[in-house]
Amino acid sequence: MMERKRTDCPALPPGWKKEEVIRKSGLSAGKSDVYYYSPSGKKFRSKPQLSRYLGNTVDLACFDFRTGKMMPGKLQKNKQRFRHDPLSMAKGGKPDLNTALPIRQTASIFKQPVTKVTSHPGNKVKTDLQRAIEQPKQLFWEKRLKGLRSSDVTEQVLRTMDLPKGLQSVGPDASDDTLLSAIASALHMSSAPITGQTSVAAEKNPAIWLNTSQPLCKAFTVTDEHIREQEMKVYQARRSLEEALMADSLARAAENTRELLEGKKA
């Protein structure tokens, strides 16, 4: 048997109801479940469902789903915990939006800007113009991207992309995964065209002839056929996404109808 108590929820917009279902028998006797009902009768079983439905109309950051009250102290406590917890991202904390690549930052061995200060009026400030234009990089820094994999919300590793046959790695211990990460990093960090290592000498001795502004791959050319193939892949991906969204929308509509019928029967 279960006891149901439905009351108004002042923390939510007018018309919202909070229902507490208390179990009276069985192994879970005394425990309760909390649900919320919109003015139209839609039932919500969790805070994420409530947040998706309300969107930006109501700030639920400090809303306690079980009590139905706004608790600012709880929000402040969570902020402090995530601030000091290095694993907060794994527990659902705010994602790290830093897009800096894992490049080793070392002290420059090149000449530093020097200012000579004397009382002589003919002295000038001497600077290294080349250093101001291009910062030094660690050679083969792309190898630090090796082994880094993306995962979904269930922590399942996503399948990597298949590179075209025209893209071939250059350098020691090069792999397709490292090359893919290097090309993606070059597209993200640089506005210059990505052409690969155009020098033939770089394939023989990349430690000397490597062009550090280009990823570790041989020179390649993008043809019109390659562009048409990618356009077709994008079109197919968009169609698949459209079909998935349509199926999800129909499933949600069916669920809402079923819940309304169950509410009328109750």
Q: Determine whether domain 6-74 maps to CATH 3.90.550.10.
A: no
Average pLDDT of the chain?
76
**Torsional class of 41: left (φ above 0), alpha (ψ -120 to 50), beta (otherwise):** left
Q: What's the pTM?
A: 0.37
pLDDT in tens, 28-87: 677 888 999 999 888 988 888 888 888 888 888 888 888 888 887 655 555 555 454 544
Q: What phi, psi does 32 have (nearest 5°)?
A: -135, 155
User: What's residue 122's pLDDT?
Assistant: 64
Q: Which of 10-14, 102-106, 174-178, 239-243 has the lowest mean pLDDT?
A: 102-106
**Sign of the C-alpha dihedral computed for residues 228, 232, 237 and 241 taken in this order:** positive
Q: 97 pLDDT band (50/70/90 cuts)?
A: low
Q: Can you tell me whether residue 23 is helix, strand or coil?
A: strand
Distance CA 182, CA 163 (A): 12
Q: Where are the domains of the chain?
A: 6-74, 166-221, 223-265
